[in-house]
Chain A
Amino acid sequence: MKASTSVAITAFVLVAGFALCALQFPNIASTRVVANLLTDNAFLGIVAAGMTFVIISGGIDLSVGSVIGFTTVFTALAIERWGIPPLAAFAMVLVLCALFGAAMGTVIHVFELPPFIVTLAGMFLARGVSFLLSTESIPITTPIYSAVSDFAIRLPGGGRLTAIAIAMLVILVLCALLLHLTRFGANVYALGGSRAATALMGIPVGPMTIRIYMLSSVLAGLAGIVFSFYTAAGYSLSAVGVELDTIAAVVIGGTLLTGGQGSVIGTFLGVLIQGMIQTYINFDGTLSSWWTKIATGVLLFVFIALQQGLMALARRSSLKPAGAKLAGAKSPEVKPAGALT
């Protein structure tokens, strides 16, 4: 109920914002612009889907930007220098990402460390390894890359739905199904509700944690592959700071940073809002592209405040607020004054 309210607000902001942009620049309302927006943000959408799982489960994954960077470098090297066929290279890099995510999840669970710290370490580690591999940008010239880049579904109105945009949409749909329709998804929400209660209810908390971070890292790896298609290069400095854009998209999409609530569709809307701001700034032409960050920052503030407001409202209207429970525990015999002698 509350979750859908947040998503509805995000959707409203997106539609209203888009309408305002279209009023000023009528050309924005075209399939061409929208399709480009999807292409430009394909990697962000994919990595944000993974982040949605992590944040709903009550964690955070700061390593995703570095994992994207690592993936692009590794893929480029594997294809261009080591002569590995692209598909084999993708498989290798995804396995590495999965192992990396599993390692972070294991450390978080076994040593009971805060995910923030563990994934921060993971962030430095992944970035460091990509620099070890190569400090230069490595162009990828294999024919598959140009073939995939040229592939697109033509939309009415001149838009081109590119392969990587399609990949993002497919991955988002799969993630949404996984989160909302499976036991795994229910467990993710449960973990975010209360780790202790989830364990008491017999859910294997450790394996769940490991799988969630694996999922996030694999999706970051996929995002890295998509990014390498997008730029046709591997570079160890790519996607610096993307973890923060990702978290912003997830939060703007109505997912609670404290966990327990959120949705993939909301995250998708959050990604689109960021893309829309970027598009507006491109159309305007006079604004610095850094205004995207400022607008994102303002939106984040507004959305977090909004969520808090909604939560407070829900708390007031619900029958027995948590506060009353606490008070009850402390003074179990509170009675009407009339009962006192």
Chain B
Amino acid sequence: MSDPSAPPATRPSLLDIRGLSKSFGTLKALDGVDFTLGEGEIHALLGENGAGKSTLIKVVTGVFARDAGTVRLAGREIAPRSAKDAVDAGIATVYQEVNLLPNLSVAQNLFLGRQPTRFGVVREGEMKRRARALLFDYGLDIDVGAPLSSYSVAVQHITAIARAVDLSARVLILDEPTASLDRHEVEILFSVMRKLAERGIGIVFVSHFLDQVYEICDRVTVLRNGRLIGARDIADLPRIDLIRMMLGRELAETTHERAASQPDTAREVCVSFKGFGKQGYVAPFDLELRRGEVVGLAGLLGSGRTETARLVFGAERADSGEAKIGGKAIRLNSPRDGAGFGFGYCPEERKTEGIVADLTVRENIVLALQARRGLHRPLSRREQDEIAMRYIRMLDIRPPDPERPIGLLSGGNQQKALLARWLATSPKLLVLDEPTRGIDVGAHAEIIRLVRELCEQGLALLVISSELDEIVTYSNRVVVLRDRAHVEELKGDAVEVSSILAAIAADTAPAHEAAS
């Protein structure tokens, strides 16, 4: 534990990554990351969204070119330029969406491009025999002549793994392989993983199911904001420490001051939810959002934060409970309803769900306002210019050019333009999902300042963030989520990183059984 990135002495190192860096524009997606995988080791790669996990995998598998750093496989330096290069070198990846051909038979999928042939004719019988033998090793006894699509995702995953390993892979990267599997299928997959590890294959396991990480992995490497936080043997790492590694920020960096808190009751309730929820999406919750108050949503990836936000805005339809404004029940079935009540929502997936990349900053800003006014009352060009310029000045969007396509702006400025889009509609409630994700440090501070200012102006805010320090900085109250349920609400002085961590880590055992 003294040198967290050193491999355990017992295992010879197989994959050795040193100082790997990769930037997209001004954003450092990977910043000098080290990663060491031993032979026969199952190694979890953890981190919240945007931590750099997928960038790391994509660099290692040749999808992205690296900016700096070395990758060594069994002591030999490699620089794959394509997925095929990586496979040839011995690194195979199985993604959550299986990259095989659903219309071909299982046998063809296993042997495509290398089928046994005689005089140019594929020896179907021989191929099937080999395919059966191969899959038998993985505990599958299936009709390999049937199309792949007729089997469950678990079988498809194992087929993909079998193909990869049969192509002499030494490093196997499994990217969220269990996300769409049920408990039984997970067991099958795990037994396959253990068997492969015994044969000396190194496995990188990307997952956000901590229970599974503790069940199957030997070591864990945690990334945050593109930086290596540490690598540990899982046996020596209490769960709360792991969660702190994933969510916390080094104490030195926390120079936060808590927002002056007033008693909640003093503020006017903007909207309240009672028993609001949706089956299989997020458990029914009670939530009051008040004017001039920031409520933070904290929890791990997949704990139900975004789901809560979408229900609150009406982007997802609740099937239980009710929402009330001023004591009157309201209908909240679509984003249109939400916007109609003066709600605004900046989604997490800024690029796909937020901005319209090809439209200009001006067009993006006036979008929500125009939608509310309807087609028949178009904003005149003069009004549009005026609104766009006002918010560009107010939020300091750079460059201050309303006619620039928004896709060309940096992440932070895109986020500000999205904020402007909703502010232009003079909203009562703003829901911000990870507003600081993928934004460089300077803009980060500005967004946080903006959140506070908006709050002071009397807006109700519901903010999701994976950065607990950030949440603590601006939240008056924090709702902690776990396993798709609201489990705790922290107020006043209780809003601090350690208590949030404790709430997230507490009582994690049920999740295990619930998955079955």
Q: Are B514 and A335 in contact (CB under 8 A)?
A: yes
Q: Are A337 and B279 in contact (CB under 8 A)?
A: yes
> How far is it, in angstroms, between the C-alpha of A336 and the C-alpha of B514 when the chains are bound?
7
Q: Are A333 and B115 in contact (CB under 8 A)?
A: no
CB-defined contacts of A147 to chain B, threshold 8 Å: none
Contacts A202-B87, A325-B180 known; A190 to B152 CB distance under 8 Å? Answer: no
CB-defined contacts of B515 to chain A, threshold 8 Å: 335
**Residue of B279, B280, B303 with most chain A CB atoms under a 10 A cut-off:** B280
* B103 within 8 Å of A (CB atoms): yes
Minimal beta-carbon separation of A88 from chain B (angstroms): 29
CB-defined contacts of A187 to chain B, threshold 8 Å: 112-113
Q: Are A186 and B485 in contact (CB under 8 A)?
A: no
> How far is it, in angstroms, between the C-alpha of A145 and the C-alpha of B83 when the chains are bound?
54
Q: Do most interface residues of chain B lie in helix, strand or loop, or is the interface mixed?
A: loop
Contacts A181-B122, A320-B153 known; A194 to B101 CB distance under 8 Å? Answer: yes
Near B by CB (< 8 A), chain A positions 312-336 give 318-320, 322, 324-325, 328-329, 331-336
* A261 within 8 Å of B (CB atoms): yes
Near A by CB (< 8 A), chain B positions 248-277 give none
Q: Are B100 and A197 in contact (CB under 8 A)?
A: yes
Q: Are A332 and B176 in contact (CB under 8 A)?
A: yes
Q: Are B152 and A320 in contact (CB under 8 A)?
A: yes
Q: Are B113 and A183 in contact (CB under 8 A)?
A: yes
* B120 within 8 Å of A (CB atoms): yes
* B147 within 8 Å of A (CB atoms): yes
Q: What sequence of 0s and 1s flags, for each residue 71-93 of chain B, a beta carbon within 8 Å of any chain A beta carbon?
A: 00000000000011001000000
Minimal beta-carbon separation of B44 from chain A (angstroms): 16
Near A by CB (< 8 A), chain B positions 195-229 give 208-209
Q: Are A197 and B99 in contact (CB under 8 A)?
A: yes
CB-defined contacts of A319 to chain B, threshold 8 Å: 150-152
CB-defined contacts of A318 to chain B, threshold 8 Å: 149-150
Q: Are A1 and B146 in contact (CB under 8 A)?
A: yes
Q: Are B103 and A189 in contact (CB under 8 A)?
A: yes
> How far is it, in angstroms, between the C-alpha of A328 and the C-alpha of B179 when the chains are bound?
6
Q: Are B153 and A190 in contact (CB under 8 A)?
A: no
* B378 within 8 Å of A (CB atoms): no
The one of A201, A329, A332, A341 in contact with B113, judged by C-beta atoms closer than 8 angstroms, is A201
The one of A177, A182, A320, A337 in contact with B280, judged by C-beta atoms closer than 8 angstroms, is A337
Minimal beta-carbon separation of B215 from chain A (angstroms): 16
Q: Are A193 and B484 in contact (CB under 8 A)?
A: no
Q: Are A200 and B121 in contact (CB under 8 A)?
A: no
Minimal beta-carbon separation of A232 from chain B (angstroms): 37
* A292 within 8 Å of B (CB atoms): no
* B399 within 8 Å of A (CB atoms): no
> How far is it, in angstroms, between the C-alpha of A113 and the C-alpha of B209 when the chains are bound?
41
> How far is it, in angstroms, between the C-alpha of A336 and the C-alpha of B163 when the chains are bound?
33
CB-defined contacts of A189 to chain B, threshold 8 Å: 101, 103-104, 108
Q: Are B115 and A190 in contact (CB under 8 A)?
A: no
* B307 within 8 Å of A (CB atoms): yes
* B487 within 8 Å of A (CB atoms): yes
Q: Which residue of A lies closest to B180 (CB)?
A: A328
Chain A interfacial positions (CB closer than 8 Å to B) = 1-2, 177, 181-183, 186-187, 189-190, 192-194, 196-203, 260-261, 318-320, 322, 324-325, 328-329, 331-341
* Besides A332-B179, A332-B302, 17 other A-B contacts (C-beta < 8 A): A1-B147, A177-B121, A182-B120, A186-B104, A186-B108, A190-B101, A197-B99, A198-B101, A200-B84, A202-B87, A320-B180, A324-B180, A331-B302, A334-B484, A336-B514, A341-B482, A341-B485
What 4 pairs across the A-B complex have the smallest Cβ distances? Answer: A328-B180, A339-B514, A340-B283, A193-B101
Chain B interfacial positions (CB closer than 8 Å to A) = 83-84, 87, 96-97, 99-104, 108, 112-113, 115, 117, 120-122, 124, 146-147, 149-153, 163, 176, 179-180, 208-209, 279-281, 283, 302-304, 307, 482-485, 487, 510-511, 513-515
Q: Can you give 7 contacting A-B residue pairs, CB < 8 Å?
A: A183-B120, A186-B115, A190-B112, A194-B99, A324-B153, A328-B179, A340-B484
